[in-house]
Amino acid sequence: MDNSNEITHDFSPFFKVYKDGRIERSLVLEDLPAGLDPETGVLSKDVVISPDSGVKARIFIPEIVGSDQKLPLLVHYHGGGFCVGSAFHILTKNVLTPIVSRGNVIAISIDYRLAPEHLLPIAYNDSWDGLEWIAGHSNGLGPEPWLNNHVDFGKVFLTGESAGANIAHYLAVQVGANGWAGLKLAGVILVHPFFGYKDVDEMHKYLCPTSSGGDDDPRLNPAVDPNLSKMGCQKALVCVAEKDFLRDRGEAYYKTLATSGWPGKVEFYETKGEDHCFNAFKQCGETDALNKKVVDFMTME
């Protein structure tokens, strides 16, 4: 009897796993080509981070940049539960182009490899590799001219939404705990961050076999991370949405960081009446308040 179509793991709406090893994804979006966004005047291009792993990134830059102008850099990690999403599709464009245009900043989204084909912690490792690749431009001799010529490496921010916010937080802690040369992290911006649930997260256990899926995992619960107070930046912005199922975990993270002994400054910002990652799915005008908060956080001393 052929039972290859038997489902062994059903993690809808993300993916299903069949007995024969096939993975069926429910959330698939087509990638958009890089180029000029006519609505915002933002230019984008794709770059290769690692030929060996195949990890790439997309850079977003304001259309008009002076030859000697140095701008803050926003390093972005997309959401999607570590198993869906891309630096190249419309949701990432929706998140980043309004900020780049409004704030006159540069953004780069790292397209880390997805689980379950690439089990965690590969997403974290790829994201770290992307940060190292970026830092390799701090002397003006990296492979990408946009970064060499236009980035102020004293004003680098990490950001992400949902699982991407989790990655941004984790990397900021690693920068502080392990030391870093080449660039200075000015801050982190966590939008609707994913830090697990009250109960064990079975999907996360599947995506990361070394994790319990519970609150004893410091990646899911920063409160148990002994390096939390070493987070390697000066300030943090934690953004939540009132109707988001992850809202309370985001607020708990804010309170934990504020009392952790970390010497930086942490801000809390809540969008009323909105749900998880609304900024990726709505038009620019409907996300103006959140975008303004992010830009102000990046550009104000």
Active-site positions read 162, 244, 276
Looking at residue 223, what DSSP letter applies? Answer: G
Cβ contacts of residue 95 below 8 Å, gap of 6+? 76, 78, 161, 191, 279, 280
DSSP H or E run through 175: helix 163-178
What does each C-alpha distance from 201 to 16, 138, 214, 234 come to in angstroms?
A: 16, 39, 6, 31
CA distance 58 to 77: 11
Q: Which residues contact 209 (CB under 8 A, 6 or more apart)?
A: 119
Write out the two tokens for 242.
């009132």
Q: Which tokens sit at 182?
A: 């080449």
Q: How many residues does the chain have?
A: 301
Nearest to 137 by CA among 52, 57, 77: 57
What one-character DSSP code corresponds to residue 245? T
CB-CB contact of 268 with 251 (8 Å): yes
Q: Which residues contact 21 (CB under 8 A, 6 or more apart)?
A: none
The token duo for 19 is: 């007995």
* Rounded distance between C-alpha atoms, residue 174 and residue 135, angstroms: 15
